[in-house]
């Protein structure tokens, strides 16, 4: 009988795939207890506590590079915080313990708990500023999109690459007043616009599976930390993404420079934001088109998680029934 042979340097990475699933599951379940309670901060804090507790059990020497904020703003999972069991590989960690805090507080669709893990020193240390983002899923042509191109031009280029009319394209855009011109420009081509109220990590990931999500392109500005998390997912499943930090004040430029950003106007591709191999996981908190939300049954808790690994391109959807409920530290 043949046995699976894995090089030692990759062995832990295979194991970590399931470990990060446990991390996002714990965060999602803790946040889901507060779905619909109207308290964004409490739901976010519950997810943060659960995520940190679980991260500290994993055999890694982890550094949080995308977290809940700078050290003076966030008591836990702040940028630069060391997590893990302090033995094992050195890794960079990006977390969004509760993406769509408002969605969770209002029990609306699309809230997720998400994180990414990459080789140490390979994730972009993005300051907590806005970022221009344009993303598409796996299309054969290279350089289909350009952040500096007008939105209508990107729609037409994508339509040509897919060999369809622009009217067959759907763009996903955050519903914000600042996006009014982009929305009008996209609609002027004949393309459709799907608006979301929150959750642009999940939004970008939608582009990777247009057959099922109906989303071809993501356009707009959103948080830079969420941009790096989304880039981690696209690194695993394929896609194209271009981003630029919006550093429109001296204070933001100073903050970015402290985090190692030398060129304020640089356009970042996926490989600039995630240089090495990475793992990405997300667990549904509320039901959404990407993942089902947490379900509390009489004797079990059910979760749905997607986990991806860039080195193999494997994407796993894990539906779990949890019977040992003590592990969630619920009251």
Express each pLDDT in 48-97 by its tens digit. Answer: 999 999 999 999 999 999 988 776 666 789 889 999 998 888 999 999 99
Please tell me the predicted confidence (pLDDT) of residue 10.
56
Q: Nearest Cα to 294, choosing from 56, 117, 18, 46?
A: 46
CATH of 130-273 given 3.30.70.1140, 3.40.190.90, 3.40.50.720, 3.30.360.10: 3.40.190.90
Give the domain ranges of the chain: 8-123+278-328, 130-273
What separation, in Å, do the N-terminal and C-terminal C-alpha atoms of the chain show? 47
- Phi, psi (5° rounding) for residue 185? -65, -40
Domain 8-123+278-328 has CATH 3.30.540.10: yes
Helix (H, G, I), strand (E, B) or coil at 67: coil
- Determine contact, residues 158/240, Cβ cutoff 8 Å: no
Please tell me the predicted confidence (pLDDT) of residue 81.
93
**Predicted confidence band at 331 (pLDDT cuts at 50, 70, 90)?**
low
Residue 181: partners with Cβ closer than 8 Å, 6 or more residues away: none
Asked if pLDDT for residue 2 goes beyond 60, the answer is: no
Convert the pLDDT of each residue in 135-148 to its tens digit. Answer: 999 887 888 999 99
pTM for this structure? 0.93
Mean pLDDT over the full length of the chain: 91
d(CA 54, CA 327): 10
- Phi, psi (5° rounding) for residue 73? -100, -25
């Amino acid at each position: 009988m043949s046995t699976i042979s894995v090089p030692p340097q990759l062995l832990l990475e295979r194991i970590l795939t399931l470990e990060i699933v446990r991390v996002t599951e714990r965060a999602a379940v803790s946040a889901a207890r507060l779905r619909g309670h109207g308290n964004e901060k409490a739901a976010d804090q519950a997810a943060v506590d659960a995520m940190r507790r679980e991260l500290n059990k994993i055999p890694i020497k982890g550094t949080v590079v995308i977290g809940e904020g700078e050290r003076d703003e966030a008591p836990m999972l702040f940028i630069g915080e060391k997590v893990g069991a302090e033995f094992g590989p050195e890794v960079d960690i990006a977390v969004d313990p509760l993406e769509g805090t408002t969605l969770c507080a209002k029990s609306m669709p699309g809230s997720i708990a998400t994180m990414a893990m990459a080789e140490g020193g390979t994730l972009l240390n993005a300051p907590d500023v806005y970022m221009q983002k344009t993303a598409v899923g796996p299309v054969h042509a290279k350089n289909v999109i350009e952040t500096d191109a007008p939105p209508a031009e990107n729609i037409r280029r994508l339509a040509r690459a897919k060999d369809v009319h622009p009217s067959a394209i759907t763009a996903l855009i955050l519903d914000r007043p600042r996006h009014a011109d982009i929305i009008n420009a996209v609609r002027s081509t004949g393309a459709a616009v799907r608006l979301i109220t929150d959750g642009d990590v999940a939004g970008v990931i939608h582009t990777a599976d247009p057959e099922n999500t109906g989303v071809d392109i993501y356009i707009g500005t959103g948080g830079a930390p969420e941009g790096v998390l989304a880039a981690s997912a696209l690194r695993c499943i394929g896609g194209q993404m271009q981003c630029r930090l919006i550093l429109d004040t001296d204070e933001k430029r100073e903050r970015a420079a402290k985090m190692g950003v030398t060129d304020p106007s640089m356009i970042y591709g996926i490989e600039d934001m995630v240089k090495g191999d990475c793992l990405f996981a997300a667990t549904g908190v509320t039901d959404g088109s990407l993942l089902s939300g947490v379900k509390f049954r009489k004797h079990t808790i059910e979760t749905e998680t997607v986990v991806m690994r860039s080195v193999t391109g494997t994407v796993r959807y894990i539906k779990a029934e949890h019977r040992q409920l003590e592990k969630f530290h619920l009251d």
